[in-house]
């Protein structure tokens, strides 16, 4: 079962260099309580993770992980690019971090983040494309865009900040249903081919792509995801083969 944002949370903690001791004596990352966003990453790399058992209920605006069928591809935007590395409030990039949180308006959170260490994209993404090494059906041969077959889900941080740090509601905002992990905010979601990412600046660095179609044949499929930011930089990565039950 896939736990959304676990990969990002772990990697985010790893790239923060300093830590404090909590009351239990465990190492914890330092926290800037003024802002909800604890750090930013630029498009220097992406990492992919395959999850099975993802189901979207558009009538209830929920995403459920752990169902018997379904495929999701987690896209994690790593740090890097332009030599800045991790952009946090407590390192050499603090001035740049402060400019970004001020640009977003994330300067009055004033409480301990209750969803872990939250990171955002320093850049605005422009397009995400997903292709496959095998045909999904007659209309989607190998190598063609599958953006109309996948939906995209991510934390819409600017909308969250504008909403007073409360979960954003609406037809395109979804709650996560997972007995093992409670996520306190909603995710923006829509068909990947329909989303204008430029209108969603500085989104969370953990992105989920969920397949909302059944391939024609049961087989092993390998997917390649490419991410391009507004500056025109493109990074791509390919998944390991994953077996998907088809319509046959």
Using one digit for the tens of pLDDT, what is the confidence trace for 129-140? 999 999 999 999
What is the structure's pLDDT at 62?
A: 92
What is the structure's pLDDT at 31?
A: 87
What is the structure's pLDDT at 21?
A: 45
Q: Which residues of the chain have pLDDT under 70?
A: 1-29, 67-68, 79-85, 115-116, 179-182
> Is residue 150 situated within a structural domain?
yes
> Is residue 73 situated within a structural domain?
yes
> Is residue 1 situated within a structural domain?
no
Instruction: Return the SS3 of 96.
Output: helix
What CA–CA distance (Å, rounded) separates 227 from 193?
14
Residue ranges making up the domain that contains 216: 6-244
For residue 79, give the nearest of 69, 87, 71 by alpha carbon: 87
E-strand ranges in the chain read: 20-21, 27-28, 39-41, 45-52, 54-57, 62-65, 71-78, 87-88, 119-121, 125-132, 150-154, 173-177, 187-191, 206-211, 219-221, 223-229, 234-238, 242-244
> Is residue 90 situated within a structural domain?
yes
> Is residue 64 situated within a structural domain?
yes
> Is residue 232 situated within a structural domain?
yes
What CA–CA distance (Å, rounded) separates 165 from 247?
42
Write the pLDDT tens digit of every residue in 87-140.
999 888 899 999 999 999 999 999 988 766 789 999 999 999 999 999 999 999
> Is residue 166 situated within a structural domain?
yes
What is the structure's pLDDT at 91?
A: 86
* Global pTM value: 0.86
What is the structure's pLDDT at 125?
A: 96
What is the structure's pLDDT at 55?
A: 84
> Is residue 240 situated within a structural domain?
yes
User: How many domains, in total, are found in the chain?
Assistant: 1
Write the pLDDT tens digit of every residue in 64-73.
877 667 899 9
């Amino acid at each position: 079962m896939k736990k959304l944002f676990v990969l990002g949370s772990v990697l985010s903690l790893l790239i923060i260099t300093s830590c404090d001791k909590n009351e239990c004596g465990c190492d914890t990352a330092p926290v800037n309580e003024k802002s909800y966003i604890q750090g930013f990453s630029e498009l220097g790399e992406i990492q992919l993770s395959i999850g099975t058992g993802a189901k979207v209920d558009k009538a209830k605006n929920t995403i459920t992980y752990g169902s018997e069928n379904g495929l999701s591809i987690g896209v994690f935007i790593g740090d890097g690019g332009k030599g800045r590395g991790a952009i946090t409030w407590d390192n050499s990039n603090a001035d740049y971090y402060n400019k970004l949180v001020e640009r977003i308006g994330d300067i009055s959170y004033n409480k301990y983040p209750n969803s872990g260490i939250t990171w955002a994209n320093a850049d605005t993404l422009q397009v995400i494309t997903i292709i496959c090494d095998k045909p999904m059906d007659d209309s989607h041969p190998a190598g063609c865009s599958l953006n109309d077959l996948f939906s995209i889900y991510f934390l819409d941080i600017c909308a969250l900040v504008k909403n007073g740090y409360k979960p954003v509601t609406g037809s395109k905002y979804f709650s996560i249903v997972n007995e093992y992990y409670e996520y306190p905010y909603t995710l923006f979601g829509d068909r990947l081919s329909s989303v204008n990412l430029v209108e969603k600046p500085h989104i969370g660095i953990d992105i989920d792509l969920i397949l909302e179609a059944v391939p024609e044949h049961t087989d092993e499929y390998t997917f390649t995801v490419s991410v391009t930011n507004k500056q025109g930089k493109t990074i791509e990565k390919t998944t390991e083969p994953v077996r998907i039950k088809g319509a046959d």
